[in-house]
Amino acid sequence: MTNQLDSFFSALADPTRRAVVEQLIQGPAAVSALHDGHDMALPTFLRHLKVLEDSGLVTSTKKGRVRTVEMQPEALRAGADWFEAHKSMWEGRMDRLARLADQLERTRT
């Protein structure tokens, strides 16, 4: 699980890769269409796609000369689960802190 999370967060740590994920949320797209919105050489862009693919966030298929990239929504589940677990923990801590602050306030008055 740790390697999967590391790969997930590492892939999303880069703004170019996050932008590609945002584009792919709309649906599958050809590499050329994805590349059009980015001011970088194609080989550099392809390395970004490789990181996303290696992390499991996207897959690609090739038909003829066109390579199409598609989002893998189930890959987002690991990150969502991690955030949810930590969100619950922090909400619990904040609730306890609020109760303590209320108690301290009541003892001062």
Q: Look at 14 and 90; give whichever has higher pLDDT.
A: 14
CA 19 and chain centroid, separation: 10
Q: Look at 84 and 14; give whichever has higher pLDDT.
A: 14
**Model confidence band, residue 1 (pLDDT cutoffs 50, 70, 90):** low
Environment class of residue 58 by beta-carbon count within 10 Å: exposed (0-12), middle (13-18) or buried (19+)?
buried
pLDDT (tens digit, 9 = 90+) per residue, 20-55?
999 999 999 999 999 998 999 999 999 999 999 999
- Which residues, 6 or more positions from 58, have their beta carbon under 8 angstroms from its beta carbon? 20, 21, 24, 49, 52, 69, 70, 71, 72
pLDDT of residue 79: 85
pLDDT (tens digit, 9 = 90+) per residue, 72-109?
988 888 888 888 888 888 888 898 999 999 999 898 87
